[in-house]
Structure 1
Amino acid sequence: MKLHDDLPVDHRLSQVYRVGAGLCGTALLVFGCLGLADGLSFFSTDGEPIAGLSSNGLLSLVSVVAAVVLIAGTVIGGNTASTVNITVGTLFVLSGFANLAVLDSSANILAFRIQNVLFSFVMGLVIATFGMYGRVSGRLPYDNPYWRHRHPRTDGRTAAAPVPDRPRRATLPGRPA
């Protein structure tokens, strides 16, 4: 059985994944569209300020693509939205590290400045947190579908109550089992 079979479409966790992907996707879409509407030079390493961040045409296009992926996750919902959020969030954090390494060099093709690096880290952590909510934790409740998936031999009421493989024999009153 796959995990997506265990999480109902209308489960409350799905709403968290969708809202997170939708909000972050919308913010990125606005940033990307503002950059594209300004007609920024596509490969400029200097960049122009857009909403307090440095941008060029390529960064604007990458922002729009990331936004489309997040919004697609919003539309699909469920575990797909969670996985999309975790993946995109991780890519944002990795992008922050990669662009930190090329700041003030000719390899800075996305025209990143330190503000962009910080934004990439923060946005990546926010997106990934939305994706991991209710999915990754040391203390998930026993009725959580992810906890139940990781502990298939329990009934979900207690951590130590295994589900019996076969029914127990009926006992008569006063006789030991």
Structure 2
Amino acid sequence: MKLREELPVDHRLSQVYRAGAGLCGAVLLVFGCLGLADGLSFFSTDGERIAGLSSNGLLSLVSIVVAVVLVAGAAVGGNLASTVNITVGVLFVLSGFANLALLDSSANVLAFRMPNVLFSFAMGLLIATFGMYGRVSGRLPHDNPYWRDRHAQAAGRPAGGTAVPASQGRTALPGGPV
């Protein structure tokens, strides 16, 4: 699996990356704002229930910061949105594991409980899936812009997306479009 910056920028998959980042960012922003609006104690390890999850002021602030990063990635779009989604998704999953180890300890500064850990895993996988959609696969279809860029010669064009003039001919792939 390679994520490269020279991949095509203007393609319809960008809408998936933007929608994923925007929707997940909106959910986190609402959660964070609800926590700050309730005036939660900033470093409480007990936390209080907000939207079914345990939260404190620090977790609310972290949620808002992550939401801003996701929404900024959605605003920019393209490969940046995809990369932001993948990175934030992986960080969410890692956070779930780290906070699982800290449950019921004095080091639980984000006031995590088991529902928070499960939410962190689920949200992380969802965000990462939005970022990887159509970009990371062992069998991308031949009309996928990432496949075309990685196999420019076979797709009949130089890397970067410009078509080869008809006078230069094209090479056909077995089972793929010409």
If the length of structure 2 is used for normalisation, what is the TM-score? 0.83
> CA offset at residue 3 of structure 1?
2.1
State the number of aligned residues: 158
Q: Residue 34 of structure 1 corresponds to which residue in structure 2?
A: 34
Work out whether residues 5 and 79 of structure 2, in 8 Å CA contact, stay in contact via their aligned partners in 1.
no
SS class of match (2:68): helix
Q: Residue 98 of structure 2 corresponds to which residue in structure 1?
A: 98
Q: 1:156 to 1:62 in 2, by over 3 A?
A: farther
Whole-angstrom distance in 2 between the partners of 1:60 and 1:114: 17
Gaps of 5+ in 1: 158-162, 169-177
SS class of match (1:54): strand
Q: Residue 79 of structure 1 corresponds to which residue in structure 2?
A: 79
Percent identity reads 79
Work out whether residues 7 and 145 of structure 1, in 8 Å CA contact, stay in contact via their aligned partners in 2.
no
Q: In the TM superposition, what are the counterparts of 1:6-155 in structure 2 within 5 Å?
A: 6-8=8-10, 11-155=11-155
Once the two structures are superposed, what CA deviation does each residue of 1:92-143 show, in whole Å capped at 9, x if it has no partner?
0000000001000001000000000000000000000000000011221112
Q: What amino acid is aligned across from residue 21 of structure 1 in structure 2?
A: A
SS class of match (1:46): coil
Whole-angstrom distance in 1 between the partners of 2:38 and 2:101: 27
Whole-angstrom distance in 2 between the partners of 1:2 and 1:82: 11
Q: What amino acid is aligned across from residue 3 of structure 1 in structure 2?
A: E
Work out whether residues 55 and 110 of structure 1, in 8 Å CA contact, stay in contact via their aligned partners in 2.
yes
- Which has the larger Rg? 1
SS class of match (2:154): coil
Q: Residue 3 of structure 1 corresponds to which residue in structure 2?
A: 6
Work out whether residues 3 and 146 of structure 1, in 8 Å CA contact, stay in contact via their aligned partners in 2.
no
Q: 1:156 to 1:59 in 2, by over 3 A?
A: farther
